[in-house]
Amino acid sequence: MVKKNKKSDSSTHPDAYSPHITNKKARFNYHLLEKLEAGLVLLGSEVKSLRQGKASLEEAYCRISNGELYLVGCTISQYDHSHITNHDPNRVRKLLVHRRELNKIVSKLSQKGLTVVPLRIYFARGRAKIEIALAQGKSYADKRDKLKERQMKRDISREIRKWQ
């Protein structure tokens, strides 16, 4: 009797239904240069809140302190069914990266105008992961040009639909 190889189907995998918390402003405010995946050090009630999608990355950023990478400003709401000693929603969370990745980030951060920005939080194989990016801030003119370009594309597609 030959055993069939079970491949995980994305529709039946438990992480397929877990929410992805994204930082929508990051792509608008920054030029993303290089992306990395890091692990998150979380408490149990934080994991449950993340699985419910109760988190925000809007004001979050990453900071290097004592040779380690930390996530600052990320809000993970308190879990409703947790004990009275629930977690602090705005606490600083440690990020897990390899030493060589951290050294690469530190060397690139020494350049003027670069920062580390969190892009999204998701679950991979049951573990909370965060996608971070080395980014350079956009100027006001760059943002305005992007908005004009988007509006022109909308107008063109609207005109094309009208004549079809």
Give me the pLDDT at residue 28, please.
84
| Model-wide pTM > 0.85 | no
* Side-by-side strand order, sheet with 68-72: 21-22, 114-124, 127-137, 30-40, 93-96, 68-72, 61-65
Residue 45 and residue 78 in contact, taking contact as beta carbons nearer than 8 Å: yes
**CA 66 to each of CA 70, 80, 124: distance values in angstroms, whole numbers, following the listed order:** 10, 34, 28
Give me the pLDDT at residue 13, please.
55
Quick one: which of 116, 45, 100, 97 has its CA closest to 76?
A: 45
Give me the pLDDT at residue 7, please.
52
Give me the pLDDT at residue 116, please.
92
In this structure, whether the domain defined by 14-138 belongs to CATH 3.60.20.10 is answered with no
Q: Where are the beta strands (DSSP E) in the chain?
A: 21-22, 30-40, 55-56, 61-65, 68-72, 75-76, 93-96, 114-124, 127-137
Place of tokens 């055993």: 3
Q: What is the residue-level pLDDT of the chain in tens, covering all 164 positions?
A: 555 555 544 555 555 556 788 888 888 888 889 999 999 998 888 888 888 888 888 889 899 999 899 999 998 888 888 777 777 788 899 999 999 999 999 989 887 788 999 999 999 988 999 999 999 888 888 888 888 988 999 999 999 988 87
Q: Which two tokens stand for residue 154?
A: 């909308």
What's the DSSP call for residue 106?
A: H
Give me the pLDDT at residue 119, please.
93
- The per-type count for the chain, helices as H runs and strands as E runs, is 4, 9
